Amino acid sequence: MRKAFMAMSALVFGVVLSVLMIEVGMRVAGLSYPIFFVPDPMAGGHMWPHLKAWWNHEGNAYVEVNSFGYRDKEHDKTKGQGEFRIAFLGDSFTAALQVDFEDTYLSVIRRELAHCQALSGREVVPMNFGISGFGTAQAITVLQGLAWDFDPDLVVLNFTANDFTDNSPAWGGRGVKPFYVFDEKGLLVRDDSFRTSPEFVKRNSPLSQWRREFIQQSRFLQLLVELRAALSRRQLTAKAELTVGGRFQRPPEEEKVKDAWRVTEGVVSLFAEEVRARDRDFVLLVTPSGKQVNPDPEYRAQRMEVIGPENLFYWNRRIQAFAEEREMEVVNLDQEMFDYSVRNQVCLYGFENAVPCGGHWNEEGHRLAGERTAESICALLESSNAKDPTVPR
Residues near 23 by Cβ (< 8 Å), separated by ≥ 6?
A: 218, 219, 220
Range of the domain at 175: 51-202+245-387
* 13 within domain boundaries: no
pLDDT interval class at 392 (50, 70, 90): very low
* 377 within domain boundaries: yes
Residue 388 has pLDDT above 70, yes or no: no
* 15 within domain boundaries: no
* 143 within domain boundaries: yes
Angstrom distance (rounded) from CA 232 to CA 224: 13
* 392 within domain boundaries: no
* 216 within domain boundaries: no
Q: Report the amino acid identity of residue 232.
A: S
* 97 within domain boundaries: yes
Residue 391 has pLDDT above 60, yes or no: no
* 305 within domain boundaries: yes
Q: How many domains does the chain have?
A: 1
Burial track 349-379 (b if 16+ CB lie within 10 A, e otherwise): bbbeebeebebbbbbbbbbbbbebbbebbbe
Query: Which range is least confidently modeled, 30-39, 169-178, 213-222, 230-239?
Result: 230-239
Residue 243 has pLDDT above 60, yes or no: no
Residue 37 has pLDDT above 90, yes or no: yes
Say what the pLDDT of residue 21 is: 87
Angstrom distance (rounded) from CA 176 to CA 354: 27
| C-beta separation of 70 from 104 below 8 A | no
Say what the pLDDT of residue 384 is: 78
Over residues 302-350, the pLDDT tens digits come to 888 878 777 889 999 999 999 999 999 999 999 999 999 999 999 999 9
Angstrom distance (rounded) from CA 391 to CA 136: 30
Say what the pLDDT of residue 235 is: 58
Average pLDDT over residues 189-213: 94
Angstrom distance (rounded) from CA 286 to CA 116: 22
pLDDT interval class at 245 (50, 70, 90): low
Neighbours of 224 (CB within 10 A): 13
CATH number at residue 167: 3.40.50.1110
